[in-house]
Structure formats: structure tokens, C-alpha cells
Amino acid sequence: MTDRNRKKRFEVVFTEAEFAVSCKIIRDNETGADKDENIKDNALMEKLCSLHDGFWDFKNTNTRELTHGLHNYPAVMVYPISRNIIRIMNEVAPPTTLLDPFAGSGTVLVEGVIGGIKEIYGNDLNPLAKLMCEVKTNPISGKNLETAYNQLMMAVEYEMACVNYDDKTADYYVSAECGADIAAKDGWATDAPCYLNDYLTQKGVQLSVPEYKNIGYWYKPQVIIDLQIIKNCIAEMPETPEKNFIWLAFSELSRVVSNRRNGEFKMFRMPADKVLSYNPDVKREFIEILKRNIGKMSDFSELCQKNEIAPQISVLSENSINLYGVPDNSVDLVITSPPYGDSRTTVAYGEFCKLSLQWLELDGVSAETVNAVDRNLMGGKKYRNGFEYTLDSETLRLSLEKIKDSDIERAGDVFSFYCDLDEAISAIAKKMKQGGYQFWVVGNRTVKLVNLQTDKILVELSQKYGLTHIHTIDRNIPNKVMPSLNSPTNETGIKAATMTNEHIVILRKQ
Ligand SMILES: C[S@@+](CC[C@H](N)C(=O)[O-])C[C@H]1O[C@@H](n2cnc3c(N)ncnc32)[C@H](O)[C@@H]1O
């Protein structure tokens, strides 16, 4: 949408004249709670109206400051969006309880902390997202981190010297002595644990080797050895917040030194020649990540200390259609960005985190859980042979009719996603206090050449859960890590631009 159109759309909701009339109507006809809510709506609209065109685009902002930059994650919501929403709400109706039911890497939660909100709930079904949210919102002083870092690196240096005591690397052993092709899909890749156990036995070194499926496909031999040494040293650390901070750095390390193609959130491996020439120095990469992260966490911790911030934070790992861990009628501000669609055809959050989760072996997160993350996220349920349309959105019904004509299975995927969204809207509404505001950042994707207007669908679905639509802001996406092109028909060679803009839908609980 062009700036001019955006302005036009804005004015349709509230021109100055309408604004004055609406204020008068409020004064004349309304009493009690209704009146208070309308005054808040008006104050919110006035603030939004005062912002310049393109305000919400945040084109040249460094979006990785403070703990925002500790770990990569797909489709992150850039922090200035939530920072400005919280700033505006602090001026209009200061919130005491914030919820992000699709918290991902924890951007909204970090901003809630900085914005001085007292009670903060985050939720995400992806176990790695939970770890990220916990670490990023828990301030640790630079001094404590430096101490933990020094102790850990002393142990790592020592253990690495014991295992890598000669020039015969695991890569040399596997390729030169065993004659296996390190870049092939079979051989080394399928039998990695056997090769590594033989290598360690030959050297007379005791080290357990990981046995995850395909580990040899995603890592070179020496990288696996070095990662395992570091992992063992972290596991030996005392149970402190510093340890979780370091686990998160290790998670980032396990992705950086893998054979994955960089800059992608789907699991694609580098081409074979690149795998052969890629020899990351695992210890050096770890030191770099740790130093960078210590700097970011120290800044965050100093800011919290300076502003005397000590919020109560709860991070849940539930399906957002339930949210049992959040008390009913307790939340006065929701800021969230749900997925754009199901994991299979949009962003595969579970796939992105798989290597990390396999290495981390988090408590209560089994191999089955890791493999099932994407299936359990929104839209994971399959409707292969059609479905009965049951949702309260005419816009969605019309879009599904069109998709159904060309592909009944894709229509089923889309229906499945919006069924989950509908249930999530219902669950989130239950958690809201009367008069509480919700800010949903959503994107409208295209399936089979049909544009799914999630911003409109969200507004229509939310009505029956007692949510009033206040306004929708359009924003351009200058720097989100998303594919800029996709194949809307799934036909080779046919591409369409997608997701160059998104919408911030504002709702209020009646
Ligand atoms: C667009 S991302 C959120 C990104 C986040 N705002 C950030 O800045 O990092 C959507 C998140 O929703 C989560 N998710 C998808 N389906 C879910 C469900 N049914 N219950 C809970 N979380 C879910 C995904 O794991 C993903 O982390």
C-alpha cells in the first residue's frame, strides 16, 4: 500500500471531523466503563494519528541491540514495533500485565521488561523459543558472565588439549585413513558415530559421541568432536543463570559451525565442494559468540539496573489455543506476531531449531518432541479430504472457495491454520481484562494465487470473542528474514513477491 493510500485508509477510520464528532457522541451518550474505554480509544488514535507516514517501517534501525541479538530466529518482529506500542500504551493506559502468546525469540518480552511492565507472560510451543525467552529477559551482570566465561574456557582449553593432542584430526582419520567421503550423503554421513568411536579408541581418548540421526550429514567429523567437548564442559557447570546463557550461545554455535547453508531458515546443506572446504574453528567461533553475547547482556543488565527494573516473568511452552498457565482476566496488553501459515508451507520454526535442540537435550524435550515441533504448531493438523467450513469469517470463506477449486489439500492446510488461529483468539481473549488492548502483527500470504487477508480475517473472527476492532496500521517490511519470493502455485519457475508489507491490527476487549 502506498503512503497515500495508507493515509486514506487511516482517514477512513478517523478524520479530524469524525474524531471531534465521536468525542461529542461519547460525552452525550455514554456512561461508566464504555465512556472510559472510548476515551482511551480516542487517546490511542490521537497518538497514532500524530505519527508520520512510514513511522512503523524502521528502515535503518539496528534491530540486534541488547539481548535481541543473542540468537538468530526466523520471522522475528523487529523490536521498535513493540517498543513503540508499549511507549504509546504507557502514555494512554499504562499496562501492568503483558502477554505474547507466540513469543518466538522473545522480542516483545524483552521490550516489556525495558518498558517497565510489572508482569510479563510469554508462550511458545517451540522448546528453543522458551529457552531464548528465558535467557533474554533475565539480566546477568557483565562481571558474573566474565567469571563464568573464564572458568568455562579454562575447562574447554584443557579438554581440547587432551583430545586433540596430535595433528591427526577426525577429518583426516575419516577421509585419509578410512577413505570415506566426508561430503557424501552415505558412508561417513550415515555411520558417523561408528567412525568417531573408532577414531577416539585409536587415540585412547574417552569421549561420548552424539548419535543423532544424520549428524554426519550436518557436521564434519572434527566439528562434532569439538562441539561435544564444549557441551560436556558446559554440562559440568553449576546450575546458575549463567549456565543457561551459555547454553544459548552453544545453541547458536551448533548452527553456525554446521554444514547448513547460511542465511536460510529451511534446512538446506551447502553443496559438497563447499562442505569439503568449510573448516570452522569451533572454539574460536564459540569465543566470538560468547564475547558478543556477554556485551549485549551486560548492556541489558545495566539498563535494567539503572531503571530499577525487576519484572515478574513467566515463560510457558503451551499450545496457544490453551494458555492454561496464564490467569483468566489478568492481561491488559497483548503484543504478538503469530505465524503466517502452517510450518510446512511457510516458516518451519521446528526445522530451524532442530540441530540446536538435538545438541542441547533440554529437560523434558525428547527426540520425539524435537521431531514433532512443526507438526504441533498452528495449522499442523491435516484435512486431506476436505472439511466442513465452520469459522465466522466471510472473507476467509470466499478465499477458501477459490483455493478449493484448484487444490483441495492446500485448502485443507489453510483451513487448519485458521481453525487454530480462531481457537487461539478465543483463548487469548479469555486472558484479557475488560478494556485491555491487543496488537497483532500479521502478514497476508498468497496461496494458489489467492491472497489471504489475515488482517481482515482476524478482525472478523475476533468479534464473537468480545473484541472490538480499533484500527489497522500497514507497515512495510524492510528487514525481516523472510523469503522475498515464493511459488504461490507450487509450480517450478512460477514465483510471486510475498510479504513486503504487514499489518498491525489493534483490538480491544469489550
Ligand atoms: C512469527 S513467530 C514469532 C516471532 C516473535 N515475535 C519474535 O520476535 O521472535 C511465531 C511463533 O509462533 C510459534 N507458534 C506457532 N504455533 C504455535 C502454537 N500453536 N502454540 C504456541 N506457539 C506457536 C512458533 O514456534 C513461532 O515461534
Q: How confident is the model at residue 95 (pLDDT cuts 50, 70, 90)?
A: very high
Closest by CA to 170, choosing from 228, 124, 115, 100, is: 228
Please state at what angle helix 32-49 crosses helix 79-92, rounded to 10 degrees.
130
Ligand 1 contact, 349 CB (< 6 A): yes
251 contact partners, CB below 8 Å, separation of at least 6 = 71, 128, 131, 356, 359, 360
Reported as a single tens digit per residue, the pLDDT across 129-145 is 999 999 999 999 999 99
Task: Look up the pTM and report it.
Answer: 0.91
Taking residues 184-188, what's their average pLDDT? 86
By percentage, how much of the chain surpasses pLDDT 70? 90
What distance, in Å, lies between the first and last C-alpha atoms of the chain? 30
Ligand 1 centroid – CA 69 distance (Å): 18
Write down the mean pLDDT value for the chain: 90
Ligand 1 contact, 107 CB (< 6 A): yes
Cα gap 19→11, rounded to integer Å? 10
Reported as a single tens digit per residue, the pLDDT across 468-496 is 999 999 999 875 545 444 444 444 444 44
Q: How confident is the model at residue 500 (pLDDT cuts 50, 70, 90)?
A: confident
Predicted confidence at residue 30, as pLDDT, reads: 60
Ligand 1 centroid – CA 104 distance (Å): 5
What H or E segment, with its residue span, contains residue 415? helix 408-431
Ligand 1 contact, 82 CB (< 6 A): no
Cα gap 263→404, rounded to integer Å? 34
Ligand 1 centroid – CA 74 distance (Å): 10
Ligand 1 contact, 317 CB (< 6 A): no
Predicted confidence at residue 34, as pLDDT, reads: 79
Ranges of each domain in the chain = 1-57, 142-297
Ligand 1 centroid – CA 428 distance (Å): 14
Predicted confidence at residue 67, as pLDDT, reads: 98
Instruction: Kindly tell me if the per-residue pLDDT of 13 is higher than 60.
Output: no
Spacing of C-alpha 266 from chain mean position = 14
Q: Which of 65, 125, 440, 479 to mutate to test the pocket of ligand 1 (most atoms within 8 A of CB)?
A: 125
Q: Which of 76, 77, 326, 349 to mutate to test the pocket of ligand 1 (most atoms within 8 A of CB)?
A: 349
Ligand 1 contact, 126 CB (< 6 A): yes
Supply the residue whose CA is at minimum distance from atom 27 of ligand 1. Answer: 104
Q: How confident is the model at residue 37 (pLDDT cuts 50, 70, 90)?
A: confident
Reported as a single tens digit per residue, the pLDDT across 214-265 is 899 999 999 999 999 999 999 999 999 999 999 999 999 999 999 999 877 7
| Alpha-carbon separation of residue 413 from 383, 390, 447 (angstroms) | 7, 15, 10
- Whether the CB-CB separation of 501 and 475 falls below 8 Å is answered with yes
Instruction: Kindly tell me if the per-residue pLDDT of 203 is higher than 60.
Output: yes
- Residue 116 region, left (φ>0) first, then alpha (ψ -120 to 50), else beta? left
Q: How confident is the model at residue 87 (pLDDT cuts 50, 70, 90)?
A: very high
Predicted confidence at residue 479, as pLDDT, reads: 56
